[in-house]
Amino acid sequence: MSTTTVFAVSGMTCAHCVAAVTEEVSLLAGVTAVHIDLAVGGNSQVTVTSEQPLPVTAVAEAIDEAGYTLVG
């Protein structure tokens, strides 16, 4: 059974940002898909599908590694 979670991420402004976050989050164990709705000047919605719920700290660290900030 898969789990889908939506995260808000600040600081993303372009396709490179989307690619960087997608790459880092995809490296987390159990992640099967990452979809990002880019919101320039606001918080982008990052939808992550995984085999089991992911620890928020792990997602935050992956997003930070890409150079952006998990909101909330």
Residue numbers in the chain where pLDDT is lower than 50: none
- The DSSP string of 13-41 is -SHHHHHHHHHHHHTSTTEEEEEEE--TT
CA distances (Å), origin 32, targets 22, 47, 53, 64, 72: 11, 11, 12, 20, 23
CB neighbour class for 39 (10 Å; exposed up to 12, middle 13-18, buried from 19): middle
List beta partners, residue 71. 8
pLDDT score at 17: 97
> CATH fold of 3-71, please?
Alpha-Beta Plaits (3.30.70)
pLDDT score at 1: 84
Q: Break the chain into its structural domains and give their ranges.
A: 3-71
